[in-house]
Amino acid sequence: MAAITHRYEFVYLFDVTNGNPNGDPDAGNLPRLDPETNKGLVTDVCLKRKIRNYVSLAKGETPGHAIYMAEKAVLNEQHALGRQAVGLEKETKDELKKLPKDEAKAREITAWMCGNFFDIRGFGAVMTTGVNAGQVRGPVQMGFATSIDPVVPMEVSITRMAVTTAEEAEKQSGDNRTMGRKHIIPYGLYRAHGFVSAKLAERTGFSDDDLQLLWQALTQMFEHDRSAARGEMAARKLFVFQHENAMGNAPAHQLFELVRVTSTRGEGEGPARVFNDYKVEVDQARVPAGVTLIEML
């Protein structure tokens, strides 16, 4: 299918209630924080993981929608699929480390990878790890999500009414309890910014159908990502700025500034605990010529 022909930016709002949206393994899986502001963080990698998972659930084995960065995937084996698909078989280790000298064949390998894997087509990939399938820069990029207000993580004690081994049961004389802890945020509203480049989409073949699947994933991915650790997470708002042409009609930062999120709680009313404690406004009058604002949530 033809690649998209418009540039896009988007503002994405989601929230968490009594959960951990993105634990930091270097800090005992505490919710990620900006240490200078105490605002919560969710990495772009975390958000992309949820998009990948949604696409995998929604599309299954549909051709063109395999996931390259899948759970437990062996990347060199994924690269080998691309080389085999264009007729390269029984190659030596030295041959596998390099793209073919024939530039057309080299481009064919990378094009096959883009055509077969949704996340390569969208996010790009460096596929030069031992088995070389080239590299591409993806048209879809996202920044870290940051909470609107500072968040205060809580450590909650939990009890498991079972033990792992018979030896543990014997030590407890049959009481069979295991104590543990989990980290949560009582409430946090997060904001993320994203970018979709039509010019980079030309290189990967990212199409309008792919774009619609991306919007669908952003609006629905939390509905299929439930776990005890993450509490209640929900997509709240998705504002998409569509430019008239591939190069764009206005700087991204000016468009992001049109979306304002403010607290509706007065002094002394305590911290926000629900989405309605915030007001989301868009300055429609300042949307530049050549840019269309689409509210998808």
By the 10 Å C-beta count (0-12 exposed, 13-18 middle, 19+ buried), 59 is classed as middle
Higher pLDDT, 110 or 181: 110
pLDDT tens column, 246-287: 999 999 999 999 999 999 998 888 899 999 999 999 999 999
pLDDT reading at 177 higher than 80: no
Percent of the chain at pLDDT exceeding 90: 85
Predicted local distance difference test score (pLDDT) of residue 40: 97
User: pLDDT class for 241, splitting at 50, 70, 90?
Assistant: very high
Percent of the chain at pLDDT exceeding 70: 100
CA 8 from centre of chain = 17
Predicted local distance difference test score (pLDDT) of residue 14: 98
Cα angle at 240 between 186 and 230, to 5 degrees?
A: 25
pLDDT tens column, 49-70: 999 999 999 999 899 999 999 9
* C-alpha–C-alpha distance, residues 32 and 196, integer Å: 26
pLDDT reading at 172 higher than 90: no
Predicted local distance difference test score (pLDDT) of residue 227: 92
* C-alpha–C-alpha distance, residues 27 and 20, integer Å: 13
pLDDT reading at 168 higher than 90: no
For 14, 106, 144, the CA distances from 64, given in Å and listed in that order, are 29, 20, 28
CB-CB neighbours of 261 under 10 Å: 16
pLDDT reading at 213 higher than 90: yes
pLDDT tens column, 113-151: 999 999 999 999 999 999 999 999 999 999 999 999 999
Cα angle at 52 between 149 and 276, to 5 degrees?
A: 30
Q: Mean pLDDT for the chain?
A: 94
Give the HSE-up count for residue 35: Cα atoms under 13 Å, Cβ half-sphere: 2
User: pLDDT class for 167, splitting at 50, 70, 90?
Assistant: confident
pLDDT tens column, 77-111: 999 999 999 999 888 999 999 999 999 999 999 99
